[in-house]
A = this chain, B = another copy of it.
Amino acid sequence: MLPDPQAGGQTGSLEHIALLRPLSAEQRAAVARQCRWRRFASDEQIIDHWADTQDVAFIVEGRVRVLSHSAGGREISFTDIDAGELVGEMSALDGRPRSASVVALGEGALLAFLPARPFRDLVSGHPELGLAVMLRLCDKLRGATDRIMDLSTLGANNRVHAELLRLARRGRRQGAAAIIAPIPVHSDIAARVSTTRETVARVMSDLTRDGLLQRRADALVVCDLQELERLVAEVRGAP
């Protein structure tokens, strides 16, 4: 258990932050001392889309979600980020407003906030860190490009199929099947593919009726992963 800085004013360790791995333990400790440490409860807001902040946040414990809301209040989620990663690097780099909000998931999260200036010094002072930040941004941009294509060319039904396929590919295989555990929440899928919970429920019940999906007590089973892959490839039209 890392010390809670709010309790003792101490700092924790950044040794499990992937980006900082090329640094020496001493350099990492120096970065840690420049951070403001804070623990967040589940669902608590970590970065406010509309606040004028620019620090980068290292996720030391827990998991966070990057999201935004429509004018009508519907949640659009972008990505979930695990411990060991970071969030908020865009405003730290370019000084522009936050592009989205960030909230803590699950059991909450411990974050270390590094101000923009030392973060920029870090990535320009260490070429391997700079390159790693570029790769992170490329990865996010590729994900965003794929999502724009899906939103532009697929119906909501097919986007739910595509999201189930994404979850299934990260799941455990069992013969032709893939196991998604824990069972994803309908509203999470809806926020990921920009549709309503009702649409997600309808599509999943259709897939269950067709024998492609099965709900167990603790997991969702895609009974024929190849068939789901075929279904998605057909509408996406990638070669």
A116-136: which have CB < 8 Å to B?
120, 123-125, 127-128, 130-131, 133-135
Give the chain B neighbours of A145 by CB distance below 8 A: 68, 78, 99-100, 144
Of A24-32, A149-157, A162-170, the one touching chain B: A149-157
Binary contact track A68-83/B, C-beta < 8 Å → 1, others 0: 1111101010100000
Instruction: Give Cα distance in the complex from A71 to B238, angstroms.
Output: 7
Write the nearest CB–CB distance from A118 to chain B, whole angstroms: 14
Q: Does A18 touch B at the CB level, under 8 Å?
A: no
CB <8 Å contact, A130 and B138: no
Q: Does A33 touch B at the CB level, under 8 Å?
A: no
Instruction: Give Cα distance in the complex from A131 to B74, angstroms.
Output: 35
Give the chain B neighbours of A99 by CB distance below 8 A: 141-142, 145
Chain A, interface SS category: helix
CB <8 Å contact, B94 and A139: yes
Instruction: Give Cα distance in the complex from A141 to B94, angstroms.
Output: 12
Binary contact track A47-91/B, C-beta < 8 Å → 1, others 0: 000100000000000000000111110101010000000000010
Q: Tell me whether A148 and B149 are in contact in the complex, defined as CB-CB below 8 angstroms, given that A134-B123, A140-B141 are known contacts.
A: no
What number of copies of this chain does the assembly contain? 2
CB <8 Å contact, B124 and A128: yes
Q: Please tell me the size bucket of the interface on A.
A: 35 or more
Indicate which residue in B123, B141, B142, B235 contacts A130 across the interface (CB closer than 8 Å).
B123
Write the nearest CB–CB distance from A150 to chain B, whole angstroms: 9
Q: Does A106 touch B at the CB level, under 8 Å?
A: no
Residue of B nearest to A193 (CB): B152
Write the nearest CB–CB distance from A84 to chain B, whole angstroms: 19
Instruction: Give Cα distance in the complex from A45 to B135, angstroms.
Output: 26
CB <8 Å contact, A134 and B93: yes
CB <8 Å contact, B135 and A72: no
CB <8 Å contact, B236 and A71: yes
Instruction: Give Cα distance in the complex from A150 to B125, angstroms.
Output: 37
CB <8 Å contact, B71 and A141: no
Q: Give 5 nearest A-B pairs by CB, closest first.
A: A71-B237, A152-B194, A144-B144, A70-B153, A124-B127
Given A69-B237, A123-B131, A148-B194: 4 more A-B contacts, CB < 8 Å: A76-B152, A99-B142, A124-B127, A137-B137
